[in-house]
Structure 1
Amino acid sequence: MKYNPLLFFSLETLDTRLDNSTDLEKKLAIQAKANPSRWNTLEFKFYGVCFLIVVPLMFKAAMDASNETNPNYWIYKGILSDGWIFGRKVDNSDSQYRFFRDNFLLLGGMILLHQILRRISLFFKVRRTLFDLVYGVSFLFIAHGFNFIRIIFHVSVMYFFGTFVSYKNKKVALILLWVYGIGTLFLNDRYRQVRFGQILNALSFMDSFHGIIERWDVFFNFTLLKMLSFNLDFIKRNDDLLDSVKNSSNKAKTSNEEESIPLREASESQPVTPNGSPSIKYLNERQRLDYPLEISDYNYGNYLSYVTYTPLLIAGPIMTFNDYMYQTRFTLPSINWKRTFVYGLRLGFCILTMEFILHYIYVVAVSKAKAWYNDTPFQISMIGFFNLNIIWLKLLIPWRLFRFWALCDGIDPPENMIRCMDNNFSAMQFWRAWHRSYNKWVIRYIYVPLGGSKNRILGSLAVFSFVAIWHDIELRLLIWGWLVVLFLLPEIVLTQLFVPYRKEWWYRHVCALGGVANIWMMMLANLFGFCLGKDGILNLLHDMFHTVNGFGFFISACASLWIGCQVMYELRESEARRGVYVKC
């Protein structure tokens, strides 16, 4: 795809998986369903004027609620740090992002070192998976010290269940993989601080080196996903080969031919590139997920190379084993310096945006100190709103940095964040766009095996239960996961009821009303869980519905959100007119 400067923030520029330019039939079908542009209509010109007025007011309200001019500033002043933009303080109080921000230069150095060594390995023609294995295990030791043994232990146990046990009994292997896999989260949470010396006194020396990151269990959750991916991909591939052997055997018997060859011979005769066609290099993502690897490719060395692949080790994005192995052999057309450079520019833009917010809007510190006394409902809502944007950015930036690292290394993992947090009106679509690679993982390995859309409620309960446990071992997160499913039900039902009327002129307006309700629900739920807490939410709701100014703000906010939904719909229509359609 030729790069168009006007599409710097487009989905196609972000990830070629979202670009249908190579599939003309699909592109034309999407364009045929798109509505004519409304950008130049009087209606949308009015919306544009509203944006020019409301958005600056939102920034002003957040700054008034958190800057030096606010009477509550003295409460959280001590939480702030010295900044670098025009001598201002910076709100570096979020521990998760502070770790990334304070170690940004170190991460940059790691990327540079990795790429230098990678180029040297190419010069000496070192096999890709071998380099990834050696560098990955070495990095794991430097990062976690001798605690890397704990990770390798879990990795090895899962390999035994997925390969050796599955040969004997597939169902037992699947049960062991899921039970032990989820069990590791509980084991690590409870026993992560057990010292090697407590296990065996002779191992006490191993307790003296914990690496750069002592909390080895923090990033283990991503390792778990890769452990399950490898083993589940292996079991599926083994099943496919068994089925092919059975089919060959049946055909042979009916034609009075010799019995079928054993599984091992069948696997060895399976071509790596079907029919030897060079077009194998251009498989799309869905095809790569079921790429027909040799059964011998599912070996322990490739497994470790995949699990410890350094650019994606700490936080992803998440790739399946099949996709990783395919890309180690064939460089995708999406890997070129122009696309990678533009992606790096977008990453830089996001980092500078985050720095601007942290230097001028101290809402994280305000939330930690609960310093919103006498603030207006508008100001309190903006404290929460910008907090949510910071949460989105603090996850997006590391994910994009690690994806940028992988792109520089010739590997193209999925993009995790394809929508701005403020460009969402549907709870269902929000979860498809938030941590997209993880969403794809749970759909492939949990939702679809449980029946997919045929068992939507059961599948959703299983998915969000796993998501909650995977994030943290806390009852409130498990309850949160179940509530998310409950909150999705009205949208699912109403969507089905109104779909037949999608061609009516009033359809988008009714959808906008539903979008307003969805946004309020999502914002209040996330503000309660991650920003304002119980006290802040109760204060906001009390002021909104018990004061004249508060209720006026509520009505104004609903009107603004309704306009926002209309613009969001038109943005998606613009994508459809370019032949791009994503379900979010």
Structure 2
Amino acid sequence: MPVWLKNLLGFFSLETLDTRLFPPKDLDRKNAVIKKADPKSKWNTWEFRFYILVFAIAVPSMFKAAMDASNETNPNYPKFAHLLSQGWMFGRKVDNSDQQYRFFRDNFPLLCGLVLLHTSLRRGVNLIAGNHKRTGFDFVFGLIFIFAVHGTNFFRILIHLVINFSISKYIKRNDVATTLTWIYGISSLFLNDNYRAVRFGIGFIDHGFQGIIPRWDVFFNFTLLRMLSYNLDYIEKRKSASEESNLELKNSSSSLSELDDRERLVAPIPLTDYNFVNYMAYITYAPLFIAGPIITFNDYIYQSDYKAMSSVKDYKRTFIYFLRFAFCILVMEFLLHFMYVVAVSKTKAWEGDTPFQLSMLGLFNLNIIWLKLLIPWRLFRLWSLIDGIDPPENMIRCMDNNFSTLAFWRAWHRSYNRWIIRYIYIPLGGGGKYRILNSLCVFSFVAIWHDIELKLLMWGWLVVIFIIPELAATAIFKNYQHEPWYRHVCALGAVINIWMMMLANLFGFCMGKDGTMSLIKTLFTTAVGLRFLFLSSGALFVGSQVMFELREAEKRRGVNVKC
């Protein structure tokens, strides 16, 4: 393999994103992963040379179909042209019509200035105060930051924070405290949805400075995850801790200096560290406050006050991460300047489009949704890495590099997935006897957490229904995994999985009921639709085989992220 190609593949590898994705340090575990991989690479076989040829034809065709369906040459262009703005790439207009990403895009310079300010203040305080616990700085800066972001709405958030803190601190029965934590946490979403602008009758709160982001409730969902994490970590600690062990740990903080990311979730933090200052510092930690990634309270306190200073920062890795972030921004800008698929989706301007064009409108819409979440998350994680706190990477796979429903949710919003597993899925019993029921509870919470809307709740239930065939097929065929035909049967199953995942997400996040039903009707009731269904399924089969081999190559390096 040429050196340049090897370096390029290394730049886009999983390991450059997050040290959690490294091969296991334990050689036995690493070798166990390597043994599971097919020792021979398939890239030089005639089969995979044919697959590469299919990619060379299919991928450019996909881009062309999306551009034809959303550019000036399309007859529907006048219906969505009013949503376009003047761009900066090659004299093209830009589709800046997505409200969520427009807010981030328009305020990007302000966010970069905030990163610089926060980092400079941290360095200055460190020089003046010397070796100190970071949480003191985070507490003070966090209060100022949250007031700047939400203005006097800070008091609305503070009410939730104090009530949540009081539940864990003053209700001594652990089971009752846990139950009330969940009841209040979920109820707060409904309260905010209905009473986010309720008047207090206090002039400076009701009519005062509302902050840069007046809609404080939009970002409260991430605050809720941190509230729940603090309470559940504290209650768990209270179940097992004793004052003697706490004193011993406090006097020997070196025992906390070599924990990996899994051990940090249950790090033996002294009980005295579960105090209000640390709670507020964690909740309002500026780099991760707006949208995460999510880091648990235990992990945050460990990295803030106990992690060995020599292991806090890796400037080379952070710089490579910055380059990956910059690359994603350029990809997003290219899509927004050359494919106006968001504007088309908003105006439902797809009349007369072919099934291929309709599906590409949906697919690139999903890619833009993926990017509009990935880019802010990577900026905030980059800010956190510069500051010395290493949260999990949220997006470790390209959205198009997924063939399994279960694996897709392990790679999409990964820090949230890890939070869900720790605080909901495992306490309910995990993948045991009631796996489907537990998954239903998980995705119901996920849907309500995203937005209190029936459409999203139905989306959550659809996802669970679509998991069932994969679980059944895995159970039936797992005994044949060493057969030569097994890989091809898995690829057929992957094609079905991908279609179901795309339809569920198109329904929930892109085209809604009308657009999705129009696509399904066209696929199955017209000759051109059936032809496209056959050809696209063949392309998905090829793509699945390539995805399998990419994961086998990772296993040969000792990397197995199970997604």
Q: TM-score, normalised by structure 1?
A: 0.92
Partners of 1:355 and 1:205 in 2: how far apart? Answer: 39
Is residue 2:21 matched to residue 1:15?
Answer: no
Please tell me whether the aligned partners of residues 524 and 530 of structure 2 are also in contact (alpha carbons under 8 angstroms): yes
Q: Higher mean Cα deviation, 298-307 or 328-337?
A: 328-337
TM-superposed CA distance for 1:552, in Å, is 0.9
AA partner of residue 299 (structure 2): D
Instruction: Report 1:283-432 matches (<5 A).
Output: 283-329=259-305, 330=307, 331=309, 333=311, 335-432=313-410
List alignment gaps of at least 5 residues for structure 2.
1-5
The answer for the alignment partner of 2:3 in structure 1 is none
Partners of 1:323 and 1:204 in 2: how far apart? Answer: 37
Instruction: State the structure with more CA Rg.
Output: 1
AA partner of residue 164 (structure 2): M
Please tell me whether the aligned partners of residues 417 and 435 of structure 1 are also in contact (alpha carbons under 8 angstroms): yes
The answer for the alignment partner of 2:503 in structure 1 is 524
Identity of aligned residues (%): 61
Q: Higher mean Cα deviation, 49-58 or 121-130?
A: 121-130
Is residue 2:257 matched to residue 1:281?
Answer: yes
Give the 3 Å change call, closer, same or farther, for CA 74–206 of structure 1 in structure 2. Answer: closer
Please tell me whether the aligned partners of residues 174 and 239 of structure 2 are also in contact (alpha carbons under 8 angstroms): no
Give deviations 1:271-307, integer Å, cap 9, x for gaps. Answer: 4647x45xx4331111111110111010110110101
Counterpart pick for 2:526 among 535, 547, 550: 547
Partners of 1:37 and 1:172 in 2: how far apart? Answer: 55
Partners of 2:558 and 2:549 in 1: how far apart? Answer: 14
TM-superposed CA distance for 1:400, in Å, is 0.6
Is residue 2:486 matched to residue 1:483?
Answer: no
The answer for the alignment partner of 1:31 in structure 2 is 34
Give deviations 1:196-231, integer Å, cap 9, x for gaps. Answer: 22xxxx445552210111001111111111111111
SS in 1 for 2:379: helix
SS in 1 for 2:257: helix
AA partner of residue 98 (structure 1): R
Q: TM-score, normalised by structure 2?
A: 0.95
TM-superposed CA distance for 1:21, in Å, is 5.5
TM-superposed CA distance for 1:487, in Å, is 1.6
SS in 1 for 2:428: coil
Number of equivalences: 552
Counterpart pick for 1:136 among 122, 142, 153: 142
SS in 2 for 1:282: coil
TM-superposed CA distance for 1:334, in Å, is 6.8
Is residue 2:425 matched to residue 1:458?
Answer: no
Is residue 2:45 matched to residue 1:41?
Answer: yes
Give deviations 1:504-562, integer Å, cap 9, x for gaps. Answer: 00111000000000111111111122222222223222322222222111100000000
Partners of 2:495 and 2:369 in 1: how far apart? Answer: 21
Partners of 2:335 and 2:138 in 1: how far apart? Answer: 37
Q: Higher mean Cα deviation, 421-430 or 449-458?
A: 449-458
SS in 2 for 1:219: helix
Give deviations 1:476-502, integer Å, cap 9, x for gaps. Answer: 222222222122111111111111111
Partners of 1:205 and 1:398 in 2: how far apart? Answer: 30
Give deviations 1:293-345, integer Å, cap 9, x for gaps. Answer: 11101011011010100000000000001100110121474731100000000
Please tell me whether the aligned partners of residues 282 and 333 of structure 1 are also in contact (alpha carbons under 8 angstroms): no
Instruction: Report 1:31-70 matches (<5 A).
Output: 31-35=34-38, 36-70=40-74
Partners of 2:29 and 2:316 in 1: how far apart? Answer: 26
Instruction: Report 1:262-273 matches (<5 A).
Output: 263-271=242-250, 273=252
Partners of 2:527 and 2:493 in 1: how far apart? Answer: 25
TM-superposed CA distance for 1:98, in Å, is 0.5
Please tell me whether the aligned partners of residues 462 and 504 of structure 2 are also in contact (alpha carbons under 8 angstroms): no
AA partner of residue 8 (structure 1): F
Give the 3 Å change call, closer, same or farther, for CA 399–272 of structure 1 in structure 2. Answer: farther
Please tell me whether the aligned partners of residues 372 and 380 of structure 1 are also in contact (alpha carbons under 8 angstroms): yes
Please tell me whether the aligned partners of residues 459 and 507 of structure 2 are also in contact (alpha carbons under 8 angstroms): no
The answer for the alignment partner of 1:214 in structure 2 is 214
How much is the aligned-residue C-alpha RMSD, in angstroms? Answer: 1.5
SS in 1 for 2:216: coil
Please tell me whether the aligned partners of residues 66 and 362 of structure 1 are also in contact (alpha carbons under 8 angstroms): yes
Partners of 1:384 and 1:27 in 2: how far apart? Answer: 39
Is residue 2:156 matched to residue 1:156?
Answer: no
AA partner of residue 281 (structure 1): S
